[in-house]
């Protein structure tokens, strides 16, 4: 059975007319500086034994991980002792604010960033606590406190679990943000995200930009030299203090961005350590994958997949083996919406990061299409862009729609320039990015006479604008979802871009048919067509990396 590559417009889908706003017409500055860590929103409290940086990681409608920090991090130019992790790690909770009758024990950990350069400042975190609370009742409000190093309780917090996983549910909201950082623009983004009142938040990578600073806290830009691969880890502490008003009440999920790589090679280490801050401070669900580097979970009516272009994605890799198993076993009857998240965009008309992960696109796009992924969300490019449904640079009624929301407000400022007209195309300016783990892929447009860059805004690009902001995805029911993008310069009640997605049903798109464990509800096998597309992906990867 072949999966039909549908045209742009059909009886059940009409592509939107491309729209855009130029940076020169918006009257905005390109960005702002970071807020000092002495600001009360980012600074530590006076009691070092009291819990701080309290945040929730989503597990499922019946589970959540509560995380927090106690003690004082180590930060100096000499060797640092490990913190004492043999301290209480407990959450008391219940459905009544005046009766926290349940207790959940947890674990403690810490991490270090050690540098060998003369004069570098080393960092060892304070004690990081993680408590996994299971057996919760869906759609229920819980109250909780966490305990500090000397059993000092925190203030009282609350959260509400999502509805049970299933194809029937009431509308709920997922908030999305990426490339946040900690500038004055970033604080507006977070304030607006809080105002949008999401039930769940997805952080699509590049949390805090600690690697944009030397280990002494100075910004890592010219003329500063000598701090390659250094980071300023107190930025991470500031992030979770500042975001505590949101994430102590609303659980979040996240993916790794390039600024979470934070490569370091401590003395006597045989290899570089990667992702240490991200892995120590968060606890995303690993039931299906066994790792936080990539994973999946379910929300009401939706299966959420989190991929990682910054670790191996060859067809023989653990990540791709997991992805194929996950897509072959998830239950589309229970979770009809299939949504993927990974940091760098595969469809992008900005000069910034243009086609940077083209090899990754060639590797995963056939699989995402074959299994009927509905929506894909990215960060990385510091601007906003939403596509029509698109496959291989051609509008396709059965393909995913992609959205880039790398517009959280970080210190690297907004991406202002498009790759069209030709004078701005990286191929013509010598600004191509094709090296390292990214691969070496040259691909061309399906239109515009096969040019490397589009000659004008392509038909697959529905809306693009170089402004900071955040987004919300309202899952209405099994076939309808509404996306809204909110610019920072507007009030949160104003949506600068809105689209209603209708998920293909019935026989409209064979790749979207209901199936369980690789079998369509009608009983026909669609495995063979998916194997063909998987073989195509494998051939693309080998071509990218020069493998015969």
Active site residues: 353
**532: helix, coil or strand?**
helix
The answer to whether the CB of 456 falls within 8 A of the CB of 19 is no
Q: Which of 443, 373, 433 is nearest to 401 (CA)?
A: 373
| Cα separation, 131 vs 20, whole angstroms | 45
Two tokens, residue 296:
């999946």
The answer to whether the CB of 160 falls within 8 A of the CB of 138 is no
Q: Which of 293, 205, 179 is nearest to 257 (CA)?
A: 205
| Cα separation, 455 vs 379, whole angstroms | 24
Buried b (16+ CB within 10 A) or exposed e, 130-159: bbbbeebebbeebbbbbbbbeeeebeebeb
DSSP state of 527: H
DSSP 464-481: EE---EEEEEEE-SSSEE
| Cα separation, 277 vs 124, whole angstroms | 10
| Cα separation, 445 vs 439, whole angstroms | 19
SS3 sequence of 265-307: CCCCCCCCECCHHHHHHCCCCCCCCCCCCCEEEEECCEEEEEC
Q: Which of 134, 131, 123 is nearest to 154 (CA)?
A: 131
325 Cα distance to chain centroid: 21
- What are the angstrom distances between the C-alpha of 450 and each of 51, 188, 396, 425? 57, 41, 18, 14
Which residues make Cβ contacts (< 8 Å) with residue 117, sequence separation at least 6?
226, 227, 228, 230
The answer to whether the CB of 388 falls within 8 A of the CB of 16 is yes
| Cα separation, 325 vs 441, whole angstroms | 27
Q: Which of 421, 253, 281 is nearest to 341 (CA)?
A: 253
Q: Which phi and psi (to 5°) does residue 103 adopt?
A: -130, 140
- What are the angstrom distances between the C-alpha of 77 and each of 118, 270, 286? 9, 22, 36
| Cα separation, 303 vs 326, whole angstroms | 10
| Cα separation, 349 vs 354, whole angstroms | 7
| Cα separation, 34 vs 51, whole angstroms | 25
């Amino acid at each position: 059975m072949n999966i039909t590559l549908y045209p742009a417009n059909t009886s059940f889908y009409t592509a939107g007319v491309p729209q855009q706003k130029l940076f020169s017409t918006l009257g905005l500055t390109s960005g702002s500086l970071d807020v000092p860590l002495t600001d009360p929103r980012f600074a530590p409290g006076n009691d070092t034994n009291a819990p701080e940086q309290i945040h929730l990681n989503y597990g499922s409608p019946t589970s959540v991980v509560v995380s927090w920090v106690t003690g004082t991090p180590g930060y100096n130019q000499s060797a640092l002792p490990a913190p004492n992790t043999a301290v209480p790690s407990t959450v008391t909770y219940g459905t009544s604010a005046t009766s926290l009758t349940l207790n959940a024990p947890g674990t403690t950990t810490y991490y270090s960033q050690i540098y060998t350069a003369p004069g570098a400042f080393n960092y060892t975190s304070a004690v990081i606590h993680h408590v996994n609370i299971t057996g919760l009742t869906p759609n229920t409000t819980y109250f909780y406190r966490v305990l500090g190093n000397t059993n000092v309780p925190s203030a009282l917090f609350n959260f509400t679990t999502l509805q049970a996983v299933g194809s029937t549910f009431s509308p709920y909201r997922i908030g999305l943000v990426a490339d946040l950082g900690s500038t004055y623009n970033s604080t507006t983004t977070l304030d607006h995200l809080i105002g949008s009142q999401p039930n769940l938040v997805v952080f699509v990578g590049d949390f805090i930009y600690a690697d944009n600073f030397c280990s002494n806290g100075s910004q890592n830009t010219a003329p500063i030299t000598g701090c390659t691969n250094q980071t300023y880890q107190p930025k991470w502490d500031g992030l979770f203090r500042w975001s505590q008003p949101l994430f102590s009440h609303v659980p979040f999920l996240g993916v790794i961005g390039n600024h979470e790589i934070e490569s370091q090679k401590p003395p006597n280490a045989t290899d570089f350590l990667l992702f240490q801050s991200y892995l120590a401070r968060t606890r995303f669900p690993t039931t299906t994958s066994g790792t936080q580097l990539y994973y999946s979970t379910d929300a009401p009516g939706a299966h959420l997949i989190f991929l990682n272009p910054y670790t191996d994605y060859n067809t023989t890799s653990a990540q791709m083996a997991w992805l194929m198993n996950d897509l072959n076993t998830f239950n589309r009857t229970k979770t009809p919406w299939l949504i993927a998240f990974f940091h760098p965009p595969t469809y992008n008309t900005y000069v910034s990061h243009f086609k940077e992960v083209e090899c990754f696109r060639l590797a995963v796009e056939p699989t995402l299409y074959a299994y009927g992924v509905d929506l894909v969300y990215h960060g990385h490019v510091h601007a906003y862009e939403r596509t029509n449904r698109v496959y291989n640079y051609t509008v396709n009624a059965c393909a995913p729609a992609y959205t880039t929301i790398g517009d959280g407000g970080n210190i690297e400022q907004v991406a202002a320039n498009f790759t069209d007209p030709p004078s701005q195309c990286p191929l013509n300016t010598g600004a191509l990015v094709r090296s390292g783990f990214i691969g070496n892929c040259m691909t061309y447009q399906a239109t515009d006479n096969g040019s490397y860059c589009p000659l004008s805004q392509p038909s697959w690009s529905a809306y693009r604008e170089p402004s900071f902001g955040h987004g919300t995805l309202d899952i209405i029911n099994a076939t309808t979802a509404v996306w809204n993008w909110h610019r920072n310069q507007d009030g949160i009640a104003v949506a600068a871009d809105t689209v209603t997605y209708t998920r293909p049903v019935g026989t409209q798109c064979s790749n979207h048919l209901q199936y369980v464990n690789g079998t369509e509800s009608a009983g026909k096998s669609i495995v063979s067509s998916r194997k063909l597309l998987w073989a195509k992906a494998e051939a693309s990867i080998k071509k990218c990396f020069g493998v015969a």
